[in-house]
Structure 1
Amino acid sequence: MKNLNLPASLLCSLSGTAVVLPLLSSCSAQKKAEAKPYNIVYIMTDDHTAQMMSCYDQRYIETPNLDRIAADGVRFTNSFVANSLSGPSRACMITGKHSHANGFTDNTTCVFDGSQQTMPKLLQQAGYQTAIVGKWHLESLPTGFDYWEILPGQGDYYNPRFITMQNDTVAEKGYLTNLITDKSIDWMENQRDKDKPFCLFIHHKAIHRNWLPELKYLSLYEDKTFSMPDNFYDDYEGRPAAAAQEMSIWKDMDIMYDTKMYRKDLKSPLKGAYEAYVGRLTPEERAQYDAFYAPIIEEFYKKNPQGRDLAEWKYQRYMRDYAKVVKSLDDNVGRVLDYLEAQGLLDNTLVVYTSDQGFYMGEHGWFDKRFMYEESMRTPLVMRLPKDFQTRGDIPQMVQNIDYAPTFLDLAGAPIPDDIQGVSLLPLLRGEKPADWRKSLYYHFYEYPAEHMVKRHYGVRTERYKLIHFYNDIDEWELYDLQEDPTEMHNLYGQPGYEQVTEDLRAELKKLQAQYQDPIEEKLQAEKAQKK
């Protein structure tokens, strides 16, 4: 019986009859420990672009806690969304399906059908506890979650309101990014069943417009001058859809709502909305807020910049406020990582950080998203993997937000329904390089006419090329060579020498539309035929 003092891993390999019975429990316990389900912590922000995350781009700011995830895990270098808009992007993520398939195509006309199959519901069936805290933005109340506490609509940065599972709207004191983290940690610490694996969705409002900073960071970045993109003064030649948008920093960014240059005696289209946001501050907080902005406001109206001076002044204020909001977000990602580590959860948890889409930081002269162009279709995606995953570094394969649902199900050991359109990223997380990995991505944006007036469009992106069709009240095609023209300034559609490329891309586009069962091109052809 001396063998009983050996490690269980060694004893499990012994075959002596004298130790068989005592070893059965040790072997069983070891296998059970090895098979312990992974937890999932999914952190998603709103409108956070890769340009403003230092593990992707070091030109602007530092994000040490976000970078921790990438440094200890993997960074996806070709991560994209299927529809660059908040609600639709969330619906794609939670269902693993494109917008036409999940029914939530735009923010203005849709209500998410909560009765449909979703990844959280499937995780529940696999024995997981599920929870979501923060921005929901799908109009209906959440389903498939054991716990939820969400924001009404876009939510408020200052002293925000939350909707509880009792359908009560409760006002809280504090800065929203901090409060969402507080509630998320509290659920992990005090409310979940610690005998079950869990999947927690931490959904931040940050870094959404109008970029209201945490008060302690009001002065941050005020001494920094941000470099402007080379195409800030894009003239949109050969791109009529790009010319028709209303998301210009120069022309469309509101002087009070967006840059905070508030004066009671002046008018502004979004003045009332801005007053409502900052009106949530307590008198003491408002005094601190006003003390910071008062000298900037006075100087601005005294100088009264015009033309390009105004455009560049707006750009600097936009970049500074955006960066300040990122700072609080990064702090809170650090808090979550520290909690998981302190509780011994980090080694058995997949931590995912991403955004619902990218964002323009002055490229083409813009803010916002919506277009299929790179800055808004591309989104940051980093993952800290459980301890027994050895993969580290960059993953270059093209992935999309419809892939998160099958990935989480695969990680949980749950079956992936055939109607899910995304593919599991688990082989990539295991370091595999599948030869049959996708070579193209499908995109479709629907919300027009609406805010920012970006035309409806769909398209295909391959490793080198992008083909886009703008439709509805316009019929324009755009073709880009991303290798030679990464900023998408030169529309090559219809130019000599690109006939075969265009034909190949049109064929790939049709293949993807058939694969995902999006009937849009057939519908447009039928409409054309009727008009004839």
Structure 2
Amino acid sequence: MPKTRAILKEGGAFFPNSFVSTPMCCPSRSSMLTGLFVHNHGVLTNNENCSSAYWQAEHEPRTFGAYLASAGYRTGYFGKYLNKYNGSYVPPGWRVWAGQVMNSRYYNYTINFNGQKIKHGADYQTDYYPDLITNDSISFLRESKQHYDHQPFHLVMSFPSPHGPEDSAPQYSDMFFNVTRHRTPSYDFAPNPDKQWILRWLGKMKPVHHRFTDLLMTKRLQTLQSVDEAVEKIFSELVALGQLENTYIFYTSDHGYHLGQFGLIKGKSFPFESDIRVPFLVRGPGVGRGRVVQSLIGNVDLAPTFLEIAGVPVPPHMDGASIFRFFQKEKVKSRAPWRDTYLIERGKMPPAHFPKLNVVEDVPNNNEGTGKFERWAVECRKPQYQSPCSGFQKYECLFVDERWRMKKCRPTVHKVAKKKWCQCKALSKYRLSKLEPEERRMQRAFLKEHTRHVDWRGYRPRFLKTTAAASAEGSVLRDVAEDELEQVELIMEDISDEISDLEVILIGFLLFYFFPFTISFLFSGSDGSEKRFQQHGTRKPGHDCPLNNSDGKLNCQIVGQSRINCSSEVYSDPATWRLSRDFLEQQIRILRVQLDELKVIRKHLRAMRPDKTHAAISNKRTNSKSKSKISSSQSLREARNEERLVRQANRRKIKEERQKRRQKKLSRKRAMVESHNGQCNYEKMNCFSHDKDHWRTAPLWNDGPFCVCMNANNNTYWCVRTLNTTHNSLYCEFITGFVTYYDMRIDPYQLRNIAHTLSENQLAFFHQTLERLRVCKGADCFVNTHPSAAKLLAANGPAKSDPEEGKNASYHLQSSHLLDNGRLAKVKPRRDGYWRRSKRRERQTPDVVASSSAAA
């Protein structure tokens, strides 16, 4: 990216030691927005709690965008936001909002532009997302200058590049071929018995994997060319508007990535320098040109820095610290020493955190400005809680007594008979609907006095309702019964159709078995029509691929005019044919049992259907007012019938779409079976297959499918990255108890885990520092190594890392675990990979442009 380097690195400051709080998209972006570490904002993965109700109520109102907007800034956000952002709302604090819905895409995406969803297609001239972000951002700058010249601005450009699916602009699709910068000394460095479980499990990469990593690096560099061009366009626009000398420009990323390192074909979520270290460039007033700042900074420092530049007090709850001190040409001696230790954490959601995802009222009210009533106000803005109730809405929000309240939606028929505290006239058409408490006690006392031989322990008085209410409730019960009966009949039809299809395939198998030389023949179907069965393909010598029935799938289907298509192995291999026949017969038996059970349920529903004659007699006894109520119930029934028809059509459409997805998934599985014998689903591993359909823009992948395992479910860890005059290290503790330690001064590519060389005092120091940072809040997260600790580490000397010693001790390193007392223990691994024990500055308010590039 030559333009970015010339404008920002040579024209500003470069921070080579910039790290992220976690090498994951959504958690890292949440840290950027809030200035909090992962354990404080609660977004631990790209799925759970990412843009959840808890995040929207608790943390979204406290992003740097919200604080800057309150301080009078004109804020704008363009590009990717959070992975699970569904586009149903505009986050607070952003005056101009154009956020991408869900995860990164370059074509065929949807954006929420100031509350309006806009879908884009696959035309490069109008839809290529990096160019759209650039054009919208330039429009924002021009509008700010023309209409809001008195108001400072803050602009965020969040590019999808170089995130997958790595679609580059056409003019760059022929660049960077045969680039090998990703082939560092740790490239294909495997296996690794001294590292975490997944790296002990992985072996050397295959040649196809080498070709894939080379092409993926090429495509990622191609996508970044659009970002490089965007930086130049924004810079030129600021010069043209006369805003350059009063604007700070930041460039960074949410995480790094690895590409073939340690045998990992691709990914980002590991505690390695390639994953946790990100570029960080700053240009603006007072920032020296070509300056290199070696201090350790993190993405949690962005929010406090933006606030200090704007002259806004930094909230005490933020974990990060402002790096504005480094922009000054001369050091300020009165400032406290900067941190030398930074927390990096990565993990899945603990079970105790699940209730916080969508239940806003359960969130503890520890933070000012986000109490229970404020969170209810956020929830009640959602469309599913709007009043009045409509359709199948379950709850509605009402603003009563200066506060929001949630009320359950109830059918209108329940309001026919209003319960009152009254005793109706004896000659009226009503019975006694409900008694006052005093009247009830008097009647019970009278009955007990005059009926002495009755057992009153089980006495429960019952009161009759009006005939109109009974009739209305009867109609509701009948409608419910009809709905249930219709649902059962629909399920029975589906099962009957499935049985018929399976019988057609089974007959084809049997006919093929008795007539092996017949290529095409006719037989009569269950509906009286003739169906044609054709054998496709020929036997391939030496090719034996067993039918994969373990997941309940069959490599046969009925397409077109009742034509059966099966894989060639079904007809060429007798053992596969027998397995297919047995599987078909078993499925037919199971479906027939289900069909018999549904017939019994249908018979019971028909027998217990509410009687219509009783309702007819009751209707004759009502007056004109009750007739009008019944007619309203009839209109309600007609409306329900129309809704039922709509639901049936929707169900059919959903069923067809599900069938299409199932066939697409089946075709990919079949391709994997043919190439890798189906081995792409390993226990405790996160694996997926890559084929020619993954990339739709040039350059394309034509080397066939292969399997990629990127992560494991025990790859949860907490690390401290230390950088000072004596140490440059990374110390990590995994959830399994495994410990790793890398000295970057002598091993910058982390080839050897030298945790076994740490003394007990060194190990205890790193463990205690990590335990403090794992639960830290606010200023407590700013750690500078105490002089006594530095002396302690220096007295023990740097960790030893003799390469030969590392090789000889490689087996023992894989069993290094941390005990509660801070000592290493030697234990043996289990077969499944888990372990057991054997003041504010007065100045002119500048503008801020934060440009962020997402890494894959």
Q: 1:93 aligns with which of 2, 9, 32?
A: 32
- In the other structure, the counterpart of 2:17 is 78
Query: Counterpart amino acid of 1:312?
Result: H
Does residue 381 (structure 1) correspond to residue 280 (structure 2)? The answer is yes
**Are 1:240 and 2:192 an aligned pair?**
no
| Residue from 305, 315, 338 that aligns with 2:213 | 315
The structure 2 residue matched to 1:124, chosen from 50, 62, 69, is 69
- Structure 1 position 109, deviation (Å): 0.9
The residue that corresponds to 2:739 in the other structure is: 477
Taking the aligned partners of 2:758 and 2:734, their CA distance within structure 1 comes to 22
Deviation digits for residues 299-352 of structure 1 (CA, Å, limit 9, x no counterpart): xxxxxxxx3x22221222112111111112111111111111111111100000
Distance of aligned partners of 1:457 and 1:415 in 2 relative to their CA distance in 1, 3 Å threshold: same
Query: Could you say which residue in structure 1 is the equivalent of 2:163?
Result: 208
Q: Distance in 2 between matches of 1:241 and 1:68?
A: 43
1:159/1:175 contact within 8 Å kept: no
Q: What SS does the corresponding residue of 1:467 show, helix, strand or coil?
A: strand
Greater CA deviation, 78-87 or 205-214? Answer: 205-214
Q: Which residue of structure 2 lines up, in the alignment, with residue 295 of structure 1?
A: none
AA aligned opposite 1:120:
G
Q: Distance in 2 between matches of 1:356 and 1:162?
A: 20
Superposition map of 1:242-257 within 5 A: 242-243=198-199, 250=205
Quick check: 1:414 aligned with 2:312? yes
The Cα shift of 1:373 comes to 1.3
For residue 343 of structure 2, the aligned residue among 430, 442, 449 is 442
Identify the residue that residue 276 of structure 1 maps to in structure 2: none
- Residue pair 2:347, 2:717 contacting (<8 A) in 1 also: yes
Aligned to 2:111: 162
2:302 to 383, 401, 404: 404
Q: Distance in 2 between matches of 1:197 and 1:489?
A: 48
Provide closer, same or farther for how the CA distance between residues 159 and 410 of structure 1 changes in structure 2, counting only shifts above 3 A.
same
Structure 1 residue 97: Cα displacement: 0.4
How far residue 384 of structure 1 moved from its aligned partner, in angstroms, is: 0.7
Tell me if structure 2 keeps the 8 A contact 1:229–1:362.
no
Q: Letter of the 1:186 partner, please give it.
A: S
Q: Which residue of 2 aligns with 1:508?
A: 769
| Residue of structure 1 equivalent to 2:132 | 179
Counterpart of 1:300 in structure 2 is: none
TM-score normalised to structure 1 length? 0.70
1:84 is displaced (CA, Å) by 0.9
Using the TM superposition, give the Cα deviation of residue 71 of structure 1 relative to its aligned residue in structure 2, in angstroms.
0.8
The secondary structure found in structure 2 opposite 1:459 is: strand
Q: What is the alpha-carbon distance in structure 2 between the residues aligned to residue 109 and residue 168 of structure 1?
A: 24
Once residues 711 and 182 of structure 2 are traced to their aligned partners in structure 1, the CA distance between those partners, rounded to angstroms, is 27
Q: CA deviation at 1:372?
A: 1.8
Equivalent position of 1:272 in the other structure: none
Residue 159 (structure 1) shift = 5.2
Equivalent in the alignment of 1:453: 711
Q: Which amino acid aligns with 1:371?
A: F
Residues 424, 391 of structure 1: alpha-carbon distance in 2 compared, 3 angstrom cutoff: farther
SS in 2 for 1:407: helix
Distance in 1 (CA, whole Å) between partners of 2:204 and 2:120 is 33
Q: Look up the match of 2:751.
A: 489
**Larger deviation: 147-156 or 137-146?**
137-146
Deviations 1:423-449 (A, max 9, x none): 000111114275511010011101487
Does the 8 Å CA contact 2:318/2:777 hold for their aligned counterparts? no
Query: 1:438 is aligned with what amino acid?
Result: R
1:498 CA displacement: 3.5
- Structure 1 equivalent of residue 292 of structure 2: 394
- Deviation (angstroms), 1:210: 2.4
Alpha-carbon distance in structure 1 between the residues aligned to 2:771 and 2:179: 47
Alignment-derived partner of residue 663 in structure 2: none
Contact map agreement 2:22 2:38 (CA 8 A) in 1: yes
Which structure is larger by alpha-carbon Rg, 1 or 2? 2
Could you tell me how far 1:245 is from its partner in structure 2?
Answer: 8.3
By how many angstroms is 1:241 displaced?
3.4
Q: Is the 8 A contact 1:249 1:314 kept in 2?
A: no
User: SS where residue 453 of structure 1 aligns?
Assistant: strand
Q: Report the secondary structure of 2:720's partner residue.
A: strand
Deviation at residue 505 of structure 1 after TM alignment: 1.1
CA shift for structure 1 position 193 = 2.2
Mapped to 2, the partners of 1:114 and 1:66 lie a distance apart of 36
Partners of 1:401 and 1:225 in 2: CA distance: 29
Distance 2:39 2:745 in 1: 30
Q: Shift of the alpha carbon at 1:233? A: 1.8
Q: Which amino acid aligns with 2:719?
A: G
What secondary structure sits across from 1:97 in the alignment? coil
Three-state SS of the structure 1 residue aligned to 2:97 is strand
**Contact in 2 for aligned 1:492/1:498 (Cα 8 Å):** no
Residues 1:245 and 1:68: Cα distance change in structure 2 (over 3 Å)? farther
1:511 maps to a residue whose letter is R
Residue 222 of structure 1 is matched in structure 2 by 177
Aligned twin of 2:262? 364
Q: Work out the CA distance in 2 between the residues paired with 1:87 and 1:179.
A: 22
For residues 189 and 245 of structure 1, the distance between their equivalents in structure 2, rounded to whole angstroms, comes to 55
1:390 Cα deviation after fit: 4.2
Contact 1:108–1:447 (Cα < 8 Å) also in 2: no
Is 2:102 the partner of 1:153? yes
- Is the contact made by 1:458 and 1:468 (CA closer than 8 Å) also made in structure 2? yes
Partners of 2:765 and 2:12 in 1: CA distance: 36
Is the Cα–Cα contact under 8 Å of residues 16 and 294 in structure 2 kept in the other structure? yes
1:449-503: per-residue Cα shift (whole Å, max 9, x none)? 76732411111110112111111xx22111111111111121122x245433222
Give the aligned residue type for 1:150: G
Gap change, CA 1:499 and 1:465, over 3 Å in 2: farther
Consecutive unaligned residues in structure 2, runs of 5 or more: 350-683, 688-709, 782-818, 821-835, 838-856
Deviation at 1:511, TM superposition (A): 2.8
Mapped partners of 2:163, 2:182: distance in 1: 21
1:145 & 1:245 partners in 2: Cα distance?
46
CA contact (8 A) 1:160 1:175 kept: no
- 1-side partners of 2:248 and 2:201: how far apart? 39
* Of 346-355 and 424-433, the range deviating more from structure 2: 424-433
What fraction of aligned residue pairs are identical, expressed as a percent? 24
2:413 alignment partner in structure 1: none
1:190-205 superposed matches below 5 A: 190=143, 193-205=148-160
1:510 maps to a residue whose letter is: E
Give RMSD over aligned pairs.
Answer: 2.7
Q: One-letter code of the match for 1:465?
A: S
Length-normalised TM-score, structure 2: 0.44
1:380 CA drift (Å): 0.4
- Residue of structure 1 aligned with 2:722, choices 446, 459, 462: 462
For 2:29 and 2:277, the matched residues in 1 are separated by 15
